[in-house]
Structure 1
Amino acid sequence: MSLATTKTSKIDRLAELTAKKETSSGASLWREAFRRLRGSKMAIIGAIVIAAFVVVAIVGPWLAPYAPTAQTWRGEVFANQGRFVGARGENLFGLDHLGRDMFSRMLVGARQTLLVGVVSMLIGLVLGALVGVVSGAAATLGGRAGQRLDDVVMRVTDIMLALPSLLLAVSVAAVLGQSLTTVMIAVGVVQIPIFARLLRGSMLAQGGKDYVLAARSLGIRKRRIVLTQIMPNSLSPVIVQATLSLATAIIEAAALSYLGLGNPDPAVPEWGVMLSQAQRFFDNAPMMSMYPAVAIIVTALGFTLLGEAMREALDPKLRG
């Protein structure tokens, strides 16, 4: 099975699992899902990790004991012949290769990392949802001409899904040039076909429901049916995917920064940039790499845990 087929089957499966609007007991989908989430240890752990990350990103610059770009201890680092100065009372995470406080840079870098992840996800979500709505509406209510439009759009998304996500992001970033905005756009472009195919599949599942047939029999305009009936009832899998995509966006943004395609100013703290800078000193100062690497992994894990818990909570086959 090809990589594109595997991606496509997973996306279609998520749309299928979350297409049902109400439970058999009549309780709303989201009320039942929230009840299941409250009892899920995976969801609680993920939510705690995400909450901690967001709090640090918001208040980190005020909590940082030193200016993240200040080379206050540069002389001490060079006096030690470039050896890593480890954790101590005045520097909880030690110093980097230029005598900057690592703890302060980690706190301030959290905001930059969160900004990149959220903006990238929103780019993919908005553009992907737009493509998905057009394709889903064309396939559901567009007749023969709509089917042809849907086929063209889906073949383009299949081509994008067939490409490794990091390779596609690197290609976009290389074309646009080195900058933080480039990283956001590149990672966002990677997410577009995922959201598009997911929303389109969910809309197809909703298109054959009785309420759609009733609306059409009453003579309601197709555009109104799509915007007020089908699309709102198709957003559940998209919301779940947005949570999962935040984890992917953070990792891919860090990877682009690691490859030197991120912020051209290395003094600005961002976890991916810090990881890239630390690779030169890994043999003598492994902790310079460990701090940003662990932060990226734990943060991505938090979003993944919450996203997977939401996926399970919205699965109609698991609800009693």
Structure 2
Amino acid sequence: MSGVLTPGRKKIEKLDRLSELSAKRDDERGVSLWQEAFRRLRRNPAAVVGAVILLAFLLVAIVGPFLVPHDPVAQTWRGEVSDARAHYPGPRAENWFGVDHLGRDEFSRIVVGARQTLLVGVVSTLIGLVVGAIIGGTAGAAAGLGGRVGRWIDNALMRVVDMLLALPSLLLAVSIAALLGPSLITVMIAVGAVSVPVFARLLRGSMIAQSNTDYVLASTSLGVKRGRIALTHILPNSLAPVIVQATLTLATAIIEAAALSFLGLGNQDSSIPEWGVMLADAQRYLDAAPRLAILPAVGIIVTALGFTLLGEAMREALDPKLRK
């Protein structure tokens, strides 16, 4: 009879059900936080646009200087430039972006200047990240350890951070740059110092939040020392928001570095291409050749936009409260 299942057929259907359950378990297998965040980033249009912009910027900054058609420092077309007649040759076959006020190829300077801008942004962000992580990590570990000494260390470090946060960021950067003297290294230190309190506060808060989780309680009940818990468990699990903030800070660092260079506190050697310095030099020629200011300004804006889009998308992918 067709409605009656033979023992052999029952066994086959049972094996089929087991295979389906096994496949379902494989599909539902848990993934790490970063793997899950990467999946969300791939489906986020803003993250894709930001990543494409950053990849293009990195490609130009790293490979571009080796492929530029002209020496960015050589004043090859100086004879064609006239300050008296406000004549600065524009885009043409041999100069895609024209020449600047000293007869240098503007396209080559824009491409080579991307590397200097990237260097300033990355180094200044690393300075703020490392120093801020040391301060915030120490304060977070001390607060998590508890006790009189731990609270004292936490309060002392956070009061220093509060004083830095009380000052406007640009004013603090200008003050540091003015004290150290104008140079590219000064810009990196000044911009990095501005981001120190942000990283310190963020890491401390994240570590304190992690110290109240179940795995910390389990480790404590097993007799693991609090210092080891802070370094091997709490700190690694607290770095996700700090990494996201570093991506956002890169955009701010590029803009602030350009602002300091515009104010004359950056590299004093204007022959070395850097977008902020180029923007500062171009202000005297806005009427005759506005492209000299527009080109580096567009580069700064687009690069900062790329970092911001990717950073916001990463924050949304890693923060459960902001996930869509």
Give the alignment's TM-score, normalised by structure 1: 0.90
Matching residue within 142, 145, 148 for 1:144: 148
Aligned to 1:268: 272
SS in 2 for 1:231: helix
> Whole-Å Cα distance in 2 between the matches of residues 164 and 283 of structure 1?
33
Aligned to 2:284: 280
> What is the Cα deviation at residue 219 of structure 1?
2.1
> Whole-Å Cα distance in 1 between the matches of residues 152 and 29 of structure 2?
40
The RMSD of aligned alpha carbons is 1.5
Instruction: Kindly report which structure 2 residues correspond to 1:146-165, keeping only aligned pairs within 5 A, or say none.
Output: 146-165=150-169
Contact kept in structure 1, 2:316 and 2:323, CA below 8 Å: no
> What is the Cα deviation at residue 105 of structure 1?
0.2
Aligned to 1:89: 93
The number of residues matched between the two structures is 297
> Whole-Å Cα distance in 2 between the matches of residues 86 and 164 of structure 1?
40
Q: Which amino acid aligns with 2:165?
A: L
The 1:66/1:80 distance shift into structure 2, 3 A limit, reads farther
SS in 2 for 1:78: coil
Instruction: Kindly report which structure 2 residues correspond to 1:281-320, keeping only aligned pairs within 5 A, or say none.
Output: 281-319=285-323
Q: Which amino acid aligns with 2:55?
A: A
**Structure 1 unaligned residues grouped into runs of 5+:** 1-23
Aligned to 2:209: 205
Q: Which amino acid aligns with 2:225?
A: R
Q: Which amino acid aligns with 1:203?
A: M
Matching residue within 182, 193, 202 for 2:197: 193
> What is the Cα deviation at residue 189 of structure 1?
0.4
Q: Which amino acid aligns with 1:250?
A: I
> Whole-Å Cα distance in 2 between the matches of residues 64 and 234 of structure 1?
43
> Whole-Å Cα distance in 2 between the matches of residues 94 and 166 of structure 1?
33
Aligned to 2:54: 50
Q: Which amino acid aligns with 2:135?
A: V
Instruction: Kindly report which structure 2 residues correspond to 1:1-320, keeping only aligned pairs within 5 A, or say none.
Output: 26-78=30-82, 81-319=85-323
The 1:265/1:135 distance shift into structure 2, 3 A limit, reads same
> Whole-Å Cα distance in 1 between the matches of residues 191 and 44 of structure 2?
30
Aligned to 2:10: none
Q: Which amino acid aligns with 1:299?
A: T
> Whole-Å Cα distance in 1 between the matches of residues 100 and 185 of structure 2?
26
> What is the Cα deviation at residue 151 of structure 1?
1.6
> What is the Cα deviation at residue 284 of structure 1?
1.4
> What is the Cα deviation at residue 316 of structure 1?
0.8
Contact kept in structure 1, 2:82 and 2:88, CA below 8 Å: no
Contact kept in structure 2, 1:106 and 1:269, CA below 8 Å: yes
Q: Which amino acid aligns with 1:232?
A: P
> What is the Cα deviation at residue 304 of structure 1?
0.2
**Structure 1 runs, 4 residues or longer, greater than 6 Å off:** none
Contact kept in structure 2, 1:93 and 1:102, CA below 8 Å: yes
> Whole-Å Cα distance in 2 between the matches of residues 117 and 191 of structure 1?
12
Q: Which amino acid aligns with 1:181?
A: I
The 1:79/1:175 distance shift into structure 2, 3 A limit, reads closer
Greater relative contact order (Cα < 8 A, sep 6+): 1
Q: Which amino acid aligns with 2:129?
A: L
Moved more, 84-93 or 186-195: 84-93
Contact kept in structure 2, 1:82 and 1:97, CA below 8 Å: no
SS in 2 for 1:195: helix
The 1:103/1:40 distance shift into structure 2, 3 A limit, reads same
Moved more, 203-212 or 141-150: 141-150
1:7-28 Cα offsets, whole Å, 9 max, x none, are: xxxxxxxxxxxxxxxxx98432
The 1:189/1:318 distance shift into structure 2, 3 A limit, reads closer
> Whole-Å Cα distance in 2 between the matches of residues 158 and 49 of structure 1?
35
> Whole-Å Cα distance in 2 between the matches of residues 290 and 25 of structure 1?
51
> Whole-Å Cα distance in 2 between the matches of residues 228 and 113 of structure 1?
35
> What is the Cα deviation at residue 79 of structure 1?
8.1
Aligned to 1:17: none
1:60-99 Cα offsets, whole Å, 9 max, x none, are: 1112110001101101002873322211111111110001
